[in-house]
Structure 1
């Protein structure tokens, strides 16, 4: 028996997702990629409304990319930044977003500043409010970090940032698909996410939501013939919707698979998914907490489906290896991926387990038993 506890890495797609991707690839082999795409044009167009329904946005506020990283980089590159501007990040910032922030702010003479965490580990709202002024152009917030069960208070952060006119860029890579993530409720100006994690879509798929008000502020630079028209020898006209952030070439098969995953999630219900994922993650935390020599490392007032832990006397990679030998799939999160938070907490690495709703409660219990077995001899 295999117990899959790595949906925070790349989850297991449902059958309808696999069938959609494979069927379209076969159709491309029969008639070519262009004609195969034309045959699915209506379905591809309907996908904007489908994702808009999932993420509480309008269809013209939705764009598709090849990853959460591409969505985030494209949006961030379009944020106007100049000398003297300030960008605020939290201690949960992911390396994939922190690195471009640090590089670009240094290049333009802006400054990146860290909002401290409160005693529970989430972004400190009082500290954030005290740091905000008219020079803050962007607040970058990781909704659910990769290295703990934390869920940051996105709605409250957005409300505070908007008081000084700052944009809020929400990295929802680890929350879309396991938690309700709605732009109209959270208030974020830009939301980025992936298909391969909790949404159970194919790898190589990403989504981007750009609210209309934010679109008026952003200045897209990474634009090709899909996002703009060449209207004269020296003239270009950009699209006015979120698709200005897309590029012409894309995997149609993967896009269709992503849309199948979105339909699957909507049919099950995000409230149901949140409850079932939360039940499994809570059961896993409780079980691991009761094991001698095992320490759960999750923080935050609100928790996601990510469960992290360490074992006395054992490196995280060794725990992962031993569990793999017993049919349990977990992964490791090291300090470089979330350097500020891990440094603050004195951690170099954690074992990360992320049970989705398709993992049975009996499998969760068995995983706890196996963690106890693989760590028992090293205390």
Structure 2
């Protein structure tokens, strides 16, 4: 599928890629110029009219966020809520489920650190049981073990991270969704690293909650994200523990009425942030998520193939399905020297340590890794440049 924008237009909309070899879209990507301009124009208007009046006159622009995000996920706008981050959205979802002491949450050994910390906190405070699905020897999620745990322990929630932050592994979100539907379990999918990188169809994945962030592969501003909630969630009447004024109407001194749709999960302050995120999601829709995924595959094939041929470097991404996160380790060179070489070559990257993925680091026997995450505005020549830089470093 062809993008509606040419490679030259994409590069022109991303001036930061002219000054660096940017490979950190899994951390915080480069915002396209239309996103920056939309936020600047909105903020400039706020200096003239104030935030409340601008919110009133720009309702259509704010509402575009729900329409564009619904289009991206193949759902309807009433299933979308703005959030300050994927973590914030996760907390809202967790607070909506009426957990009781002894209930079970089923997750994986690859789940995002903030999610794991939340589960451990709930374990201490609420007395829930936390169980983790095993991996197969190649790193894939063991779906047989997942079904066995669901049958045996009847968890209230299954929560997985689609693409772990510390690995290129892609977990089988659709297959997990089928299991959750079969056994009637609430299903939370953390799509922070997959939204904007891969096609996501909630009709196929069947999550009850899907959380995502704006700053990564969606190329939106920081402090933005969203929450998708299913019809099942809304029909069951689930709502967050702490309800903000956008989420409900105070009808009587001792009663309130929730928003009918997903916006019952929203915070009050969203205007400027949602405008930036709406523009970012709209830009991804304009480029085309299938075109984005195809270009990403080309980039990663070139980068992985080049790096795996170098002596002295160990690629750390397991599993049969891999994404636009590439992680590696150099056993015979100090991390400080590697970081210096990459920065001297103008590479923007991320270094991660065990605190971000304790279980995965332990089983891989490492104490640090470097993560490279190109995106569709990068070029094949840039992938070759990174490989050449690493080859020179390893001599």
Q: TM-score range by the shorter chain?
A: over 0.9
**What is the alpha-carbon distance in structure 2 between the residues aligned to residue 84 and residue 66 of structure 1?**
31
Q: 2:242 is paired with a residue of what secondary structure?
A: coil
Decide whether the 8 Å contact of 2:208 with 2:230 is kept in 1: yes
Q: 2:156 is paired with a residue of what secondary structure?
A: strand
The question of 1:79 aligning with 2:94 is answered: no
Aligned-pair CA distance for 1:86: 0.9
**What is the alpha-carbon distance in structure 2 between the residues aligned to residue 247 and residue 219 of structure 1?**
13
Decide whether the 8 Å contact of 2:299 with 2:374 is kept in 1: yes
The aligned counterpart of 2:160 is 141
**Residue number among 202, 206, 219 corresponding to 1:200 in the alignment:** 219
158-167 or 299-308: bigger deviation: 158-167
Aligned-pair CA distance for 1:124: 0.6
Q: CA RMSD in A?
A: 1.4
Superimposed CA distance per residue, residues 249-282 of structure 1 (whole angstroms, 9 cap, x where no aligned partner) = 22x2221111111111111111110111121112
Decide whether the 8 Å contact of 2:239 with 2:264 is kept in 1: no
Aligned-pair CA distance for 1:345: 2.2
The aligned counterpart of 1:159 is 178
The aligned counterpart of 1:232 is 252
Runs of 4+ in structure 1 off by over 6 angstroms are none
TM-score normalised by the chain length of structure 2: 0.92
Matches within 5 A, 1:176-325: 176-217=195-236, 218-250=238-270, 252-325=271-344
Q: 1:132 is paired with a residue of what secondary structure?
A: helix
The question of 1:25 aligning with 2:43 is answered: yes
Aligned-pair CA distance for 1:315: 4.2
Superimposed CA distance per residue, residues 104-159 of structure 1 (whole angstroms, 9 cap, x where no aligned partner) = 13322220001001122121101101111363110110000111110000010111
Superimposed CA distance per residue, residues 210-267 of structure 1 (whole angstroms, 9 cap, x where no aligned partner) = 01102334342121221111111111222221101111122x2221111111111111
Aligned-pair CA distance for 1:167: 0.8
Q: 2:274 is paired with a residue of what secondary structure?
A: helix
**Residue number among 145, 151, 164 corresponding to 1:127 in the alignment:** 145
Aligned-pair CA distance for 1:321: 2.9
The question of 1:342 aligning with 2:361 is answered: yes
Aligned-pair CA distance for 1:291: 1.1
Q: How many residues align?
A: 375
TM-score normalised by the chain length of structure 1: 0.95
Aligned-pair CA distance for 1:317: 4.9
Unaligned runs of 5+ in 2: 1-18
Unaligned runs of 5+ in 1: none
Q: 1:136 is paired with a residue of what secondary structure?
A: coil
**What is the alpha-carbon distance in structure 1 between the residues aligned to residue 103 and residue 231 of structure 2?**
23
126-135 or 198-207: bigger deviation: 126-135
Decide whether the 8 Å contact of 1:91 with 1:123 is kept in 2: no
Aligned-pair CA distance for 1:359: 0.8
**What is the alpha-carbon distance in structure 2 between the residues aligned to residue 280 and residue 179 of structure 1?**
14
**Residue number among 105, 115, 123 corresponding to 1:97 in the alignment:** 115
